[in-house]
Amino acid sequence: MKTFIYLIAIFVLLSCSNRRAPVYEWQQKYFAQEKKRLVTIITGYEFENGKYKLSFIDSTYETFNNKGQKISSNGTQFYKYNAQGKVIEEEYCPRSCEIPAKIKYVYDEYNRLLKVINVSKLDSLEYVSEVYTYQNNLLVKKTIGADSLATTETYTYDNRSRLRTRLTTEFNTFSNKWIKYQETMFYNSNDSLIMRKKQLVGSPEIIISKYVYANNLLSTQRDTTLNPTSLLGKQTVYTINLNQKNFKYNSKGKLIEKISLQPDYKTPYLKWTYEYK
């Protein structure tokens, strides 16, 4: 019975994905540029009683122009580029595609992103949603939001210009106060990120993420959350939450499988497969 229900759900998903939505004039100019289409079929499984059980099948597609630039995602999100190949505008359909919402990207003379501007589809009003600040050609600050409660990220780098720390300051509406997250990055000799530590400033909890690579592609990501608790001021007990994901790729370096493991780092929990057409 369960198998029958899954088959019906899959049929409905595929049927819906094949329905043709109306094409508006502003969309047509993007579709006219299409030279290549890549369809990704995503299949999800749950691991129960020693075997995988089909959970869902979904698909997405991307279209590209003759320069290899992505011009559309699922026919609802579209991209324009400048002469240097940077995205300068994104048009998308939040609900109806009759009038698109827009995001504009502004660059300086060195082609560095300076700010992101959102354009309302209702009244065409523009507001700055992100601002970027550079020093010695390195991004040192990112501001998200334009009001007094804007979130900021500040960055520092090592002597090889690799991101070393990121400090995020944001206003927490639940506690009604400002909080800060500190992240520290570590790299191998190939400049690949191998470890990241993240901690809420003022809190003993720390999240350690470790990354393992094969042929310069990420093969394993393991996240460990440590919650140190002092007992009578004499010893510390660590409550550990574990999470690991394993990745597999095809000969072209595209992701074909992702498996999320249970805390024993052995037993699968969820699996996703990716097929490209």
Q: Summarize pLDDT for 176-192 with one digit per residue, the tens.
A: 999 999 999 999 999 99
Give CA torsion, residues 103, 163, 169, 209, to 10 deg: 100
Extended strands (E) in the chain: 36-48, 51-64, 70-73, 77-81, 87-92, 101-107, 113-119, 126-135, 138-144, 151-157, 163-172, 177-187, 193-200, 206-214, 217-231, 235-249, 255-261, 268-276
Residues in the chain: 277
pLDDT confidence bin for 22, thresholds 50/70/90: confident
Answer whether residue 114 is part of any domain: no
Is 158 in contact with 164 (CB distance < 8 Å)? yes
**Count of beta carbons in the 10 Å neighbourhood of residue 91:** 23
pLDDT confidence bin for 4, thresholds 50/70/90: very low
Q: What is the pLDDT of residue 238?
A: 55
Q: Summarize pLDDT for 95-112 with one digit per residue, the tens.
A: 788 889 999 999 999 999
pLDDT cut 90: percent of the chain above it: 76
Looking at the structure of the chain, the number of domains it has is 1
Q: Considering the chain, what is the average pLDDT of its residues? A: 90
Q: What is the pLDDT of residue 95?
A: 79
* Domain interval for residue 149: 136-227
Q: Which of 141, 73, 126, 130 is nearest to 107 (CA)?
A: 130
Answer whether residue 245 is part of any domain: no
Q: CA 69 to CA 38: how far, in whole Å?
A: 12
Any idea which of 141-145, 148-152, 160-164, 204-208 has the lowest mean pLDDT?
A: 204-208
Q: What is the pLDDT of residue 16?
A: 46
Residue 21 pLDDT > 80: no
**Stretch 213-222: mean pLDDT, rounded?**
95
Q: What is the pLDDT of residue 11?
A: 47
Answer whether residue 232 is part of any domain: no
Answer whether residue 49 is part of any domain: no
Answer whether residue 148 is part of any domain: yes
Answer whether residue 164 is part of any domain: yes
Answer whether residue 42 is part of any domain: no
